[in-house]
Amino acid sequence: MNPIVTPAAVNPTVDYLRISLIDRCNFRCQYCMPEGEELTYLQQQAYLTNAELLTLLQEVLIPCGFTRFRLTGGEPLLRSGIVDLVQSIAALPQTKDLAMTTNAFRLAELAQDLYDAGLRRINISLDSLEPETFDRIIGNRGRSRWQQVWQGIQVAHQVGFDPLKLNVVVIPGVNDHEVLDLAALTIDRQWHVRFIEFMPIGNAGLFDRKGWVDSATLRQQIRDRWGLTEAQVKGNGPADVFQIPGAKGTLGFISQMSECFCDRCNRMRLSADGWLRPCLLNETGQLDLKTALRSGESLAELRTRVKALLTAKPAINFKMRESGTTGAYARTMSQIGG
């Protein structure tokens, strides 16, 4: 039996929910997918429906304090009815912020509709400016996909997404030689590049072979080239934000391997099949909201269980870093929920 927790006991800082809409992706990125293995994906009926997701948001999660939402995957633009879903979430009066993380492959065709539906912030994975390197990272062996992704970024910029962020997972010997070129994108454009330390999720072999580059090393490279100052505007997430002097955009560094930021984590994750999880890599206390909803459990009881998990969250964190180990996790990022 879960203890009854009063709203006053809920951690007031946890107001950000990352919502995975689908576990499938049309890319097979090296740092996400295991090498040489076929993945087992969820069946369509296993996903939360749009109606179920909206019910959970309105009746359970928003009353527990969640007001900021990010739509992820897999690749969220593969989700059927994505524009209508964005519009529905954006229209909720309690929604203070709605963002999306995408690989941008379908963004050129959908950017205007998403913007008109109420989406304003978008993060795009762009791990290389070199088409050959990009295609190697995403596991593409056919016609290059770099140009279509780059076009999606350009269209999103023209439509008016602000901030427009580019996520870069830095892999030694693969794309670490492009750090300065990627950082330079922020000089003349109001774009925000986020360098992410490579994590041992989904591809143990690659991580063991390549290792990772810490954020301090990346910052020093950029500082030696242009100088680097702390940005005046901080982000909502775990990035430490800097700026090249005089640049229009910013540079963020997400340092989950070298600098544990669990003490300032303000988020939980909702998987595509309805599991509410307190931490990216620690699922202690996770709740199966979909099964509870479909079995007729009362919304009041679901709220009580979510509040209990919120109260427990400060003690549920990135145990891998606490122990000082770098062991790999078998599930891919798309299966966890970005």
Q: Which domains does the chain have, with CATH numbers?
A: 7-336 (3.20.20.70)
Q: What is the pLDDT of residue 73?
A: 92
* Residue 150 Cα distances to 65, 126, 166, 250, 269, angstroms: 36, 9, 11, 19, 28
| The residue type at 33 | M
- Give residue for tokens 């800082």: 13
Token digits of residue 59 = 């009746």
Averaged pLDDT, 183-194: 97
What is the rounded CA–CA span in Å between residue 166 and residue 179?
Answer: 12
What is the rounded CA–CA span in Å between residue 256 and residue 240?
Answer: 11
Averaged pLDDT, 43-59: 96
Percent of the chain with pLDDT over 70: 83
Percent of the chain with pLDDT over 90: 66
| Greater pLDDT, 263 or 7 | 263
Q: What is the pLDDT of residue 4?
A: 34
Q: What is the pLDDT of residue 8?
A: 36
Q: What is the pLDDT of residue 3?
A: 34
- Taking 50 as the threshold, does the pLDDT of residue 328 lie above it? no
Q: What is the pLDDT of residue 195?
A: 97
Residue 234 pLDDT grade (very low, low, confident, very high; cuts 50, 70, 90): low
- Taking 60 as the threshold, does the pLDDT of residue 217 lie above it? yes
- Taking 50 as the threshold, does the pLDDT of residue 275 lie above it? yes
Convert the pLDDT of each residue in 6-17 to its tens digit.
333 444 489 999
Residue 335 pLDDT grade (very low, low, confident, very high; cuts 50, 70, 90): low
- Taking 70 as the threshold, does the pLDDT of residue 334 lie above it? no
* Residue 238, SS3 per DSSP: coil
Which of 130-144, 194-208, 304-318 bottoms out in mean pLDDT, i.e. has the lowest? 194-208
Q: Which of 190, 182, 44 is nearest to 121 (CA)?
A: 190
Residue 95 pLDDT grade (very low, low, confident, very high; cuts 50, 70, 90): very high
Q: Which of 13, 35, 89, 91 is nearest to 57 (CA)?
A: 89
- Taking 80 as the threshold, does the pLDDT of residue 47 lie above it? yes
Residue 322 pLDDT grade (very low, low, confident, very high; cuts 50, 70, 90): very low
| Greater pLDDT, 60 or 235 | 60
